[in-house]
Structure formats: C-alpha cells, structure tokens
Structure 1
C-alpha cells in the first residue's frame, strides 16, 4: 500500500488567500479496509539554539518552542474500503489564517526555519499499520504595493577605512571603490553594482561576494545572534586590471532567503560582504546590511 500527495502547481508556490488543490493518490494490489483519511495543513516557525549558546541561556530552552502559524485539517474520506489498484481523491485547501496571525515566507535557515506542510493520514484497523505521507509547499509573500525606492551605496575601501585589523603590521597600499545599486532589495531581483580596483601594491588572488544570514532567537532572558554564510560567488579570478569596472551581480536563492523579518521571538536579517583575497592570502572585507 502506498500513499502520495500531488499538488496541481508543479512549483508548489502559493500566496495567502489562494487555494491549494491536488489529489491524494492511494495505490494497493488488493482491496484495503481503513478507518478514515484526513489531510492536515501545518505551518510553523522552529527555532534552535547554536552550540555556543547552550548553557548560557538555561531558561531559554522553555521558550524555544515552535511558533504555530497555521493549522487546519479536513476529512477527505470516511471509514470504508478502497478497491485494488490506484485511487485518486481530489482536495482543495484554502490558505487562510485565523486570529490575526501572519504567514511568513518559507525560509530554510540554520537556527530559524519557517516551513509549511500537507500531511495525509490513513487510519487502519487493529494490527494494521497506519499510513502517513507529508509534502512541503512553499509560501511567498504578497507583492508590496507601490514602487520600492532604491538606496544606492557608494563605497571606497582603503587601509584607513578598515576597522577590524588583526595584524598591526604595515598594510599594503590599496584603493578599491564601487557602488551597490540598492541595499533595499526586491528579493526576486538580483543585487547589482560594480567594483573598480584603482591601485593595489599586492596582486589580487580573487574577489568574492558573500551572502550572509544573521539569525536572532530570543526572549526576555536573552538573545542568541548567529551569522552564517548562504552563498559565495567569485566575481574576479587572479590579478585584475586596474581601473576596470567589474560587475556585481547576485541572485538571491529563494529557499534560503526571505524578506527581512523582525518579530518578538526571532529576527532574520541579511548582509553582503565584498571580499578581496590577496596573493599573500590576506583578506580585505567590506560589509553591507541589506
């Protein structure tokens, strides 16, 4: 006996107010007795502490509980008997929340996870094992009304502009300037800009764009804040020509990024680092909150 859930939309992407529709597919070689088939829709935020925070916030563990966003269930078939072969049961499930809750966008992080699932349960008679199948669907936020005002940022990186210099040995002379077209980003559009190496005493090994998520989980007892890398894109390899405009172009991966979120229990923020790796393996990094 096998159970499967098939949604009509191949990409499984839905927005609040839309209806999830699809079929439950039941396959068996012989007729099957069952005690009822139910379909459950669940959406929750699961929070997790990083290893460095364990022991720091003992009271914190009580408050790191999943935050329920949506929970509905429907009976798709009453107790009865299914024939042998393949049976398809169609379903429709409205994606609506109750009690003023908000459907946050699907997000797969390290310490914060926002996931939505459909679960089909088939209860079986005594001595027969119950069957269960779940499938994840993706929730995207409704587009915001009105045009987003770009917030361009011009930057210039020199030895004097560096803040966290670990080694106090004389730094090589360099000047790198550039521009990010906007740090106020539309998640479906790429991050763009350009970078120019004006002069550099030491040859360049690589220039990279690093996208970072900053996840904060917390309560009244304290907050744990952790930054982790999402992706790293090389935009230049080897010693680049000076005064040559190098394009900056980064597409946001949709499952691992979401609109910036700030709630009472958790925050999800994003930053981009421009990293210049020199031939002697020194790193020059400039950070931009997005």
Structure 2
C-alpha cells in the first residue's frame, strides 16, 4: 500500500512572511514500483469566519458574505506523470511564503468564530481504479520584526474591586461587603511573555471559595451590514483556593497558549481582541467578575 507524507525542514513549523517553506514530499511505494499521473503541492492560507448560533438569525443579510478570505493560494507541479521505484522516494520542494496580491498575512490563530490557518497539501494522482493519495500539513505563521504594528510598552493597571465598582450586578445590596485591591504589571503584553500581577483581599464579610483568572477572546465578524461580536473563554486558572488570608498578596501569573491567542487584530472584516476576568467565587457559589481589556503584541 503506497503512502504519501510531507516533512518540513523546520521542526517547529514556524515561518515568517518572505521566508522559503522548505521540505520534502515522501512517497513510500512499498515493494513494487507505482505509476502516477503527476504530484502537485498546494500552499493555502485563509481566514475562515462564522457566526454563532445566536447571531445567524439577526444577521442573515450578510451571512452569505462571510466567505473565507484567501491570503495565499499557490499550486506547484512537483513531479510529472511517470513511475516511482519501490521503497521510499523523497522529492524536495521550497515555496516562498508570500500573500496574494496586496493582501497581508496574519498570524496563525485557532478561534471559535475566526480561524486563520496555513497549510500545505500534497496530492498524487493515480491511474484508473487506483486511489489518489493526499496529505495535508499545517504550518504556523508569525509576524517578523518589520511587521510589528506596536511593541509592548509598559502600561500598569491598578484596580480595586468592591460592591461599588461592580457594573454587571443589578442588586448590589445582596453582594457581601468585600474589598480586593491589586495590579497588573501591564495591559499591553508581548504574547511570548506571561501576564503578571498580584491581588490582596483586604476585607470580605463572607467566606471565599476560590479566586480565578480567566483569559477571554472577543471575536467580531461582519461587514457593512452589521457586526456579530462573541466572547468565549480560552483558559481559566485558579490562583487561590478556599477562604484566603486577608492582607496577603496573591500572585497573578498566566502564560498565553500559542495557537489560541495571537497579536490583537483589527481588519475591515473581523477583529480579535482579548480580555482578562478576575473572578471571586464565594462559599455559597455566588461570584463577582471584574473585566480588564488587554492588548497582545508579538514584540
């Protein structure tokens, strides 16, 4: 049984615009030679947008306009029709990582409603009655220094959370008396460095069950007819468990997961923003949340 595979030269599969994506197409023909009708390699890069279930009904007018945005699409003939010998054959290739026309390459990002993906697809056409062989391989695109729109400059955030500061609670009289103070080292962060900070529970009339930090992505899809905006949680880290001691600093530390985050992005068709939620869960399972928008950069 013949098999087809793609091996990239870079083990981490990370490339920047303008670089050559190099590798080999491996064909294992088995014990006998195989005939084929040509081997092609396709490099594809696209942004796939979709609406959440709650938005589809509201925005049916532009639902059909949310077509994938093609960033790259190359097709190369790697081998002309012929025969390959038994055993393993490696065919080298190199493809320049350049966008179509005047388009821009965005960083790889796996979201819920916005997906930015780059892939190589090898295809070997076979004669009649023999099944064509296909293999896909995703690679990762990151900005280079010259693409950097903004660099991470320190922008410290001091915060106080108390019943008076809460904006998403209707009946504030039912919220126990509490006061939490803290800081985030910066609200503009390099994506490869962790979010750091600390908080102190100064006062709380009811026992605390847990304190958590949530990382949230806010994805906006749309066009001139309207925009659909959806927030979804990426990760949740518990930084305190149980009824914490009052007056003692609790460290905040969060690493950004690579494929589920990217530098903050804003285009005509979509946006990707990020937020941090500090969540305090009380013993009776009631909770309060304070939200902080953050900006991610590559450098």
Range class of TM-score, shorter chain? over 0.9
Q: CA deviation at 1:21?
A: 0.9
SS at match of 1:52: helix
SS at match of 1:59: helix
Matched, 1:14 2:15: yes
Matched, 1:25 2:26: yes
In the alignment, which of 142, 147, 154 is matched to residue 150 of structure 1? 154
Matched, 1:216 2:217: no
SS at match of 1:16: coil
Q: CA deviation at 1:168?
A: 4.7
1:104-137: CA deviations, max 9, x gaps? 0000000000000000011112232221111100
SS at match of 1:280: coil
Give the alignment's TM-score, normalised by structure 2: 0.94
Matched, 1:239 2:214: no
Q: Distance in 1 between matches of 2:232 and 2:119?
A: 26
**Does the 8 Å CA contact 2:162/2:178 hold for their aligned counterparts?**
yes
Matched, 1:283 2:287: yes
Q: Distance in 1 between matches of 2:220 and 2:61?
A: 16
Report the aligned-residue RMSD: 1.3
Q: Where in structure 2 are the equivalents of 1:1-290 lying within 5 Å?
A: 1-29=2-30, 30-143=32-145, 144=148, 148-290=152-294
- The residue aligned with 2:297 is none
- Listed as ranges, the gaps of 5+ residues in structure 1 are none
Q: CA deviation at 1:212?
A: 0.3
**Does the 8 Å CA contact 2:151/2:190 hold for their aligned counterparts?**
no
- Listed as ranges, the gaps of 5+ residues in structure 2 are 295-299
SS at match of 2:137: strand
Q: Distance in 2 between matches of 1:288 and 1:192?
A: 13
SS at match of 2:155: coil
Q: CA deviation at 1:90?
A: 1.1
SS at match of 2:63: helix
Q: CA deviation at 1:146?
A: 8.2
Q: Distance in 1 between matches of 2:281 and 2:52?
A: 29
Q: CA deviation at 1:204?
A: 1.0
1:135-179: CA deviations, max 9, x gaps? 100111113388532110100011111112143543211110000
1:65-112: CA deviations, max 9, x gaps? 000011112111111100111111111111122422111000000000
Q: Distance in 2 between matches of 1:103 and 1:21?
A: 18
Q: Distance in 2 between matches of 1:145 and 1:72?
A: 27
Count of matched residue positions in the alignment of Structure 1 and Structure 2 = 290
